């Protein structure tokens, strides 16, 4: 049916390329495959242990054997990279964080076992002191309640070497101390680990979206005299974006191999800005709070979990992230295997 109009219609009609699913897939600009995802895993001691995390439906703290089983399942679905976070015995937590550089600590045992069972897996280990600190901070805390930068950096460099010797493919400093990437690169090279990559949490913000993660690791700052109740003196101010460029320039100069923006969705502009200023791969962390919001809304029938989670991850990739850390990695792998997303 032809209808005449009193106004002229556009010669270009973008809707022509939206008319069917086949056409839409043909011209799709951003394609996210499971092999671009990283699955974070929370490791605990013991055997055959699974402790569900209430605030993160479908995710759990798991003993090494169960972590390995999940690793194999995830690899079959296409995600072959894993970020390991240890939930250690509180009795081992101290302000000096010495358990972090124990070559037989929980994290190192997990890396060795996983590498033996899944040699093709890429294992990314977290470099920060908060899992080992009785203060809940990423760095050493002075008597005056100051998070000590240079003393912490020395510990982080030692920690990176210990992880590399256990078999970690990538070490990922998430602490936001100044100078830690350069110190870690120097320490790794001196110890002969020239092939161990550094994924730096370049722009890690003092975000309110980390709550479920801190529940999973019991790593929130403690409430005590002279101890900061938050991490704002070292993590970035959510109001800042230019500062992320400064951090990126420093990390690249110090030898970072990959840069991370954390969180993901609230910081798509930061991902985009870093993508424009560096040729290095950009990672983004779709954090626990982002994951939990979709899960909670879907459980109440308010959102379609598959559609919304897939849209969120695609948006992060569209902004410029080459790699996405997400607790939904296995869900996405199943959806992708079924029909693609």
Domain ranges for the chain, please list them: 31-239+250-260
Q: Establish whether 72 is a catalytic residue.
A: no
For residues 99 and 155, the answer to whether their CB atoms sit within 8 Å is no
pLDDT score of 221: 75
Q: Which residue has the higher pLDDT, 315 or 214?
A: 315
The residues, ordered by sequence, that sit 6+ positions from 299 with a Cβ below 8 Å of its Cβ are 57
pLDDT at position 219, please? 66
Of the options 1.10.10.10, 3.40.1190.20, 3.20.20.70, 3.90.1170.50, the CATH number for the domain spanning 31-239+250-260: 3.20.20.70
Is the per-residue pLDDT at 200 higher than 90? yes
Q: Kindly name the residue from 93, 204, 231, 295 that is annotated as catalytic.
A: 204
At residue 258, the pLDDT reads 97
pLDDT for 26-45, tens place per residue?
998 999 999 999 999 999 99
Question: Is the preceding omega at residue 119 within 30 degrees of 0, hence cis?
Answer: no
Task: State the Cα–Cα distance between residues 61 and 43, nearest whole angstrom.
Answer: 6
The whole-angstrom separation of Cα 86 and Cα 107 is 6
The DSSP symbol for 8 reads P
pLDDT digits (tens, 9 = 90+) for 172-181: 999 999 999 9
Record the pTM.
0.94
Q: Give the per-residue pLDDT at 227.
A: 82
The whole-number average pLDDT for the span 218-233 is: 78
Is residue 49 part of the annotated active site? The answer reads no
Most confident of 15-24, 81-90, 203-212: 81-90
pLDDT in tens, 53-66: 999 999 999 999 99
Catalytic one among 93, 231, 262, 295? Answer: 262
pLDDT at 229 over 60: yes
Alpha helices (H) in 144-231, listed in sequence order:
149-166, 180-190, 211-217
Handedness of CA 278, 280, 282, 283 (dihedral sign): negative
Structure-token match 């997303």, residue found:
341
Q: Which residue has the tokens 């798509």?
A: 268
Confidence of residue 225 (pLDDT cuts 50, 70, 90): low
pLDDT at residue 1, as a whole number: 56
End-to-end CA distance of the chain: 35
């Amino acid at each position: 049916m032809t209808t005449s109009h009193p106004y002229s219609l556009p010669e270009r009609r973008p809707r022509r390329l939206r008319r069917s699913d086949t056409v839409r897939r043909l011209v799709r600009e951003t394609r996210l495959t499971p092999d671009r995802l990283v699955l974070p895993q929370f490791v605990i001691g013991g055997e055959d242990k699974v402790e569900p995390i209430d605030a993160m439906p479908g995710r759990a703290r798991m003993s090494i054997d169960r972590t390995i089983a999940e690793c194999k399942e995830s690899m079959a679905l296409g995600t072959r990279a894993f970020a390991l976070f240890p939930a250690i015995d509180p009795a081992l937590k101290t302000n000096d964080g010495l358990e972090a550089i124990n070559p037989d600590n929980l994290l190192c045992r997990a890396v060795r076992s996983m590498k033996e069972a899944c040699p093709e897996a890429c294992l990314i280990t977290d470099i920060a002191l908060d899992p080992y600190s009785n203060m809940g901070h990423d760095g050493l805390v002075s008597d005056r309640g100051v998070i000590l930068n240079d003393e912490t950096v020395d510990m982080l460099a030692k920690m990176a070497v210990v992880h590399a010797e256990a078999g970690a493919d990538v070490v990922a400093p998430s602490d936001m101390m100044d100078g830690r990437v350069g110190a870690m690169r120097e320490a790794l090279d001196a110890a002969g680990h020239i092939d161990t990559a550094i994924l730096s949490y370049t722009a890690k913000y003092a975000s309110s979206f980390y709550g479920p993660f801190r529940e999973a690791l019991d790593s929130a700052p403690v409430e005590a005299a002279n101890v900061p109740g938050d991490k704002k003196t070292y993590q970035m101010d959510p109001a800042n974006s230019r500062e992320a460029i400064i951090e990126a320039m420093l990390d690249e100069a110090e030898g970072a191999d990959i840069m991370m923006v954390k969180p993901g969705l609230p910081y798509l502009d930061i991902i985009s800005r870093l993508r424009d200023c560096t040729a290095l791969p950009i990672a983004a962390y779709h954090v626990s709070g982002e994951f939990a919001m979709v899960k909670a809304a879907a459980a109440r029938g308010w959102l379609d979990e598959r559609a919304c989670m897939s849209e969120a991850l695609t948006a992060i990739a569209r902004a410029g992230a080459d790699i996405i850390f997400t607790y939904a990695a296995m869900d996405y792998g199943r959806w992708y295997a079924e029909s693609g997303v």
